[in-house]
Amino acid sequence: MRRRSASCPAVWPANERGDDPARDPDTAGETANPPIRRTMNTSGRKRRALGIAVVLGASAFGGEPAELIDAVRALGMSGQAAAAGRVEAEVVPAPDGPPDLYSLRMRFRLDRHVQGQWINVFTEPSPPLDFSAATALRVPVRAEQDMSFLKIKLVDPDNPGPNHSAFEGAVSDGGGALPAGRWVDAIVPLPPDPARRDGLTYVGFYISAGDRSVPSDRDLVVYAGRFPLVLPPRPPWPPPIPAAGAEAGARLVWSGVPESGPWRFASGAGRSVDASGRGVVLRATANGWNELVRSDPDRLPLRSGITYRLGFDYRVEESPHGESDATFYCFARAADSIDHDAGWQRWTGVAGGTGRRTLLITPERSTPYHLVFGIRHQGAIRIEAVDLREIARAPEAAP
């Protein structure tokens, strides 16, 4: 798997904010992808290409397409609330299927049409999905109403273009609307170069809020995938902290409020950090990836071979807004790469809402990692009671 890397600057410039195209379902400039080919779930019928007279079977893709949506990926999907509308994602029994099959149910609701916005359901798998052995993906889809505006987007950072799309396009039935109440197999072609499909970091479905053909003020329901609910074993969450004095206890690395010591604050138009009161208040008034607080990797290094648990309290001062994917976020990043982040968490909330977040961070790179607190687009949040602990160490990890 090839991965791009980029060095983080030694000085954090004020204009570092900007959109990460790998996370934005924006079709601008993405015209090179072929249309999604679909097949019907009818035994014995030949598969045919969307809008193309030539009959194509699975062999046209070099073998049977791989399944894109399974239980783990479906459970990792999340919907978002935005000014234009909202989406709910849930794993439920598959309609018209045997009782042991499940599907991802997506319930889109557009409140108003807004140009340049979308409402989406997505997952950012970690580790990335490796489809180097497949040339196409199968996505069984069933809409509960006629639907001609559902799109799917796959991202592998090794693809060219502003959004690094491995595929982006509409899901349709023979070039027309998805029929109400009937399953259709969407066959999604992948790039010919295996290196451009061996690390999918984003899988999403979305509807453009600027599309006037999308009905507003009503639920639009669509199901994706037909899979058994088989899950891998999961460790206890969060990992328990042994009692004080225990021989294999969790070692405290740092605790307090990130207002001084090994912390750096962002500055510049549209971004501010206020440490004058209780905790620190992060505020963003411009759209983009606003990284507002970072730890200093020289003074608070996070090293490979060690698993850390980061916890912190928060209070939402101003709900995330500005775009449909506005969120608060926190993660850890290596000094020499943007492709090996660890512990990603994103969340939203209403003004006045409080909570506590817990992240597990296991750095992969040998260079020290640093922590990042930020806001995707606009909003404000107060961070308090940060607690960083070492909870596991590989035998070969440096002391």
Cβ-contact 321, 379 below 8 angstroms: yes
What would the two tokens of residue 335 be?
């000094």
Ordered structural domains, the chain, with CATH? 21-228 (2.60.120.260), 251-393 (2.60.120.260)
Residues 6+ apart with CB under 8 A from 84: 110, 111, 112, 113, 114, 117, 118, 119, 209, 324
Cα distances (angstroms) measured from residue 64 to each of 58, 59, 82, 97, 105:
5, 7, 38, 22, 25
Alpha-carbon gap, residue 340 to 364, rounded angstroms: 7
Burial class (CB in 10 A: 0-12, 13-18, 19+), 120: buried
Q: What is the pLDDT along the chain (399 residues), one digit of tens a residue?
A: 433 333 232 223 333 333 333 344 433 333 333 333 333 332 222 222 222 222 233 333 456 899 999 998 988 888 877 778 888 888 999 998 788 999 999 999 999 998 888 888 988 887 889 999 999 999 999 999 998 899 999 999 899 988 889 999 988 776 678 899 999 988 899 999 999 999 998 999 999 999 998 998 899 999 999 999 887 666 555 555 544 444 345 789 999 888 878 999 987 889 999 988 789 999 999 999 999 999 999 999 898 888 999 999 999 999 999 887 889 999 999 988 888 888 888 888 888 888 888 888 988 888 889 999 999 999 999 999 999 999 888 766 655
Backbone angles phi, psi at 232, to 5 degrees: -75, 155
Cβ-contact 122, 204 below 8 angstroms: yes
Cβ-contact 188, 136 below 8 angstroms: yes
Alpha-carbon gap, residue 364 to 3, rounded angstroms: 13
User: Checking DSSP bridges between strand 66-67 and strand 136-143, what pairing results, if any?
Assistant: parallel
Token pair 């990792």 is found at: 76
- Sign (positive/negative) of CA torsion 200, 202, 207, 210? negative
Q: Looking at the whole model, is its pTM more than 0.75?
A: no
Cα distances (angstroms) measured from residue 219 to each of 85, 91, 144, 321:
10, 17, 10, 22
Centroid of chain to Cα 113: 24
